[in-house]
Amino acid sequence: MKLQMAITAYLILQALAKDLYEDFGQCLMELIRNGLCASMDNPDKKWEPHRAKIEVSLIEIPALLRKGKCLVVLDHGKGLTTAGLKRYFEWLGTPLETLRERSRGSSNGSSQKGIGRLAALSLNGKCHDKDISVAAKNGFFVFSRTSSSGEIRFIEVVPEKIETDGGTEVDRFITPSSEEARFLNNIEGSFTAIVIPTPVFDSADEIIESIKWLLPREANKMFDLRVNGKKVAPPELQSAVNITWDGDKYRARLGAFKKVSETDEATGIWLCDEETGFRVASCVRMGSKFMPMPLWYPDIVGDIFVPGLLRHQGTARNKLSDAFTRKWDDEWRKLLLFLSTVVAPAAKNLLDNDVEETGASKALEDLVTLFHGCYGLPPEKEPGGGSGGTRIRTKSPTTPDDKDRPKEEPKPRHKTIKIRDEVYHLYTGRSLDPDLFAEVAPHNSQLVYVNVRGAYKSLPKNLSERKEHMLMLILIAIGLNENVNNPEEALKFASSRRADFLKK
Ligand SMILES: Nc1ncnc2c1ncn2[C@@H]1O[C@H](COP(=O)(O)OP(=O)(O)O)[C@@H](O)[C@H]1O
Ligand SMILES: [Mg+2]
């Protein structure tokens, strides 16, 4: 007897739509990427983004949703072909056969993981209902045509039906003039439109904001993207550091973060795919374990373009896959060589030395000594050394920037400590809210921002009081980060670590 596993509505909704992605922008990008791939269908699988026109919009479609707007992602690509239909409705994940083909020759599709289409569920607000039986009844619609005119395939994708109906009905066709298809305005040519009712977005601006940093970073890699008719372009590249290496296959464009408006947040440096310009992995998130200092500092911002990187992106699309960074392979090694001998020295020049010694920074130095006394010195780590590879020395680069380098190396903006067996970096390069002394970085739980540049208002005058104050606030910040919904545990964490100091 042979049995075939079926997929449940819960798994589709939770694991493959909601938990997988960091935010709605990433989910929307999955649909946009699918539209892009369908639009540059060519035999040698070259990446030709200029061939794509993708229209994202919020439209009222009363035939599908009585009240409110639907989110529509429309591409003018080849449509859902017979093979595409099978991939869409029969397979979850990429079949082995396709993976084998890809490993024989690289292709632009190789970044695709065979589940991206389900991100559409995450964009339907009702799919987030706490009641799974409500969430599972909601989904999205696919409109698609492979011919240049005529009937349109109309498919409803609903998690509950996938689990209980034994399949999705894909052979329903409607005419372009039908109520459901009227929003397509008698569209010409082949196309696919994904229509999501009760979307999580309320406005075009919100949509643009959510994806602007996920668009190809170099303007010449951009495709024609409209949101409610408005053409969208990626934010400009940084220009303070502009390096090319190995022909021009590796490129770095960096600058120091400058806050222009209150809501601006530094996003750090990103590693991007050289061919498509997509951001692949955040250097802040990868942290000091993989990235040489100061590339993981959040206040240096910009993009580093690396050939073939998209293939090594993890499924959640914000990190490199473990297999790539663990394995000491030539590509990773070459990337580290570029980063540590060329980019990092140039990036150091972006760190100003104007951070004055403040009372707080002096007290912090003393406090760091206390931490070292209590928990020992942190191990010295060099990026990429994790799985026993050869170390890359960061000394003596010969780059054009060498002569411009100031004699005195800028001071690092972090101090490393251990708390029991965990390593943390106290990051001194950023001012926080005047009422906040310490805060763990959003995407790197080992990085703790400490407000020692003078902005903090409640620092006691006396040195020993200062140290005590800072110590507790750092411990509480870490405790809170590790016990997000449990402030009591967070305080216990802080007090128990404080007790460690008494034992020494
Ligand atoms: N907009 C689209 N136009 C044509 N085909 C599509 C579109 N979106 C998805 N598909 C088909 O569905 C398949 C599955 O999509 P997806 O779940 O995103 O996985 P992947 O993109 O990794 O293959 C694609 O490989 C493609 O064949
Ligand atoms: Mg996809």
Query: Do 161 and 49 belong together in one domain?
Result: yes
435 burial (CB, 10 Å; 0-12 / 13-18 / 19+) is exposed
pLDDT value of position 395: 41
pLDDT value of position 69: 97
**Is residue 101 included in any domain, yes or no?**
yes
pLDDT value of position 356: 63
Distance 85 CA to ligand 2 centre (A): 13
CATH of the domain at 93: 3.30.565
pLDDT value of position 315: 74
**Is residue 226 included in any domain, yes or no?**
yes
Most confident of 309-318, 386-395, 464-473: 464-473
pTM over 0.95: no
End position of a domain, from candidates 231, 254, 274: 231
Query: Do 150 and 285 belong together in one domain?
Result: no
Read off the tokens for 24. 């709605």
Is the CB of 77 inside a 6 Å radius of any atom of ligand 1? yes
Look up the domain containing 278 and give its range.
241-348
Query: Do 254 and 217 belong together in one domain?
Result: no
Whether pLDDT at 473 is above 60: yes
Pocket test for ligand 1, best of 87, 118, 191 (most atoms within 8 A of CB): 87
Query: Do 227 and 245 belong together in one domain?
Result: no
Quick count: other Cβ atoms within 10 Å of Cβ 374?
18
**Is residue 151 included in any domain, yes or no?**
yes
DSSP-derived secondary structure for 52-84? -EEEEEEE--TTT-SSS-EEEEEE-SS---HHH
**Is residue 3 included in any domain, yes or no?**
no
User: Which residue CA neighbors atom 20 of ligand 1 most closely?
Assistant: 114
CA of 30, closest atom in ligand 1: 18
Distance 246 CA to ligand 2 centre (A): 31
- Rounded average pLDDT over 433-446: 93
User: Which residue CA neighbors atom 8 of ligand 1 most closely?
Assistant: 34
The pLDDT tens digits for 255-302 are 998 877 777 777 899 999 999 999 999 999 999 989 999 999 999 999
Which ligand is nearest the CA of 194, by number? 1
Beta strands in 91-169 (DSSP E): 140-145, 152-157
Query: Do 280 and 319 belong together in one domain?
Result: yes
Is the CB of 88 inside a 6 Å radius of any atom of ligand 1? yes
User: Which residue CA neighbors atom 19 of ligand 1 most closely?
Assistant: 114
Whether pLDDT at 355 is above 90: no
CA of 84, closest atom in ligand 1: 27
The answer to which of 13-22, 51-60, 124-133, 149-158 has the lowest mean pLDDT is 13-22
| 3-state DSSP of 406-424 | CCCCCCCCEEEEEECCEEE
Is the CB of 29 inside a 6 Å radius of any atom of ligand 1? no
Distance 424 CA to ligand 1 centre (A): 41
Query: Do 295 and 259 belong together in one domain?
Result: yes
Query: Do 225 and 256 belong together in one domain?
Result: no
Contact between 73 and 193 under an 8 Å Cβ cutoff? The reply is yes
**Is residue 190 included in any domain, yes or no?**
yes
Query: Do 412 and 481 belong together in one domain?
Result: yes
Is the peptide bond preceding residue 487 cis, with omega within 30 degrees of 0?
no
The pLDDT tens digits for 125-148 are 999 999 999 999 999 999 999 999
Quick one: pLDDT band at residue 151, thresholds 50, 70, 90? very high
The answer to which of 106-120, 310-324, 369-383, 387-401 has the lowest mean pLDDT is 387-401
Pocket test for ligand 1, best of 34, 73, 90, 121 (most atoms within 8 A of CB): 34
Query: Do 303 and 266 belong together in one domain?
Result: yes
CA of 112, closest atom in ligand 1: 22
List, in sequence order, every residue forming a beta bridge with 153; answer none if it has no partner: 144, 173
End position of a domain, from candidates 231, 250, 282: 231
**Is residue 4 included in any domain, yes or no?**
no
Quick count: other Cβ atoms within 10 Å of Cβ 439?
21
The mean predicted confidence, pLDDT, of the chain is 89
pLDDT value of position 327: 65
pLDDT value of position 407: 55
Is the CB of 110 inside a 6 Å radius of any atom of ligand 1? no
Distance 460 CA to ligand 2 centre (A): 54
User: Which residue CA neighbors atom 26 of ligand 1 most closely?
Assistant: 84
CA of 83, closest atom in ligand 1: 27
Is the CB of 117 inside a 6 Å radius of any atom of ligand 1? yes
**Is residue 156 included in any domain, yes or no?**
yes
Which ligand is nearest the CA of 191, by number? 1
Is the CB of 334 inside a 6 Å radius of any atom of ligand 1? no
Query: Do 191 and 287 belong together in one domain?
Result: no
End position of a domain, from candidates 181, 213, 231: 231
Quick one: pLDDT band at residue 106, thresholds 50, 70, 90? low
Query: Do 19 and 136 belong together in one domain?
Result: yes
Is the CB of 350 inside a 6 Å radius of any atom of ligand 1? no
Instruction: State which amino acid sits at residue 209.
Output: E
Is the CB of 313 inside a 6 Å radius of any atom of ligand 1? no
Query: Do 126 and 211 belong together in one domain?
Result: yes
pLDDT value of position 398: 46
The pLDDT tens digits for 209-261 are 999 999 999 999 999 999 999 999 999 999 999 999 999 999 999 999 887 77
The pLDDT tens digits for 159-208 are 999 999 988 999 999 999 999 999 999 899 999 999 999 999 999 999 99
**Is residue 128 included in any domain, yes or no?**
yes
CA of 87, closest atom in ligand 1: 13
60-68 long-range contacts (CB < 8 A, ≥24 apart) are 61/180, 61/182, 61/183, 61/195, 62/179, 63/178, 63/179, 63/180, 63/182, 64/141, 64/180, 64/195, 64/197, 65/197, 65/198, 68/197, 68/198
Residue whose pair of structure tokens reads 């649909």 in the numeric block: 31
pLDDT value of position 318: 76
Orientation of helix 204-211 relative to helix 24-39, angle to 10°: 80
Whether pLDDT at 373 is above 50: yes
Task: Calculate ∠ Cα 161-163-169, nearest 5°.
Answer: 40
Distance 433 CA to ligand 1 centre (A): 44
Distance 41 CA to ligand 1 centre (A): 12
Domain count, the chain: 3
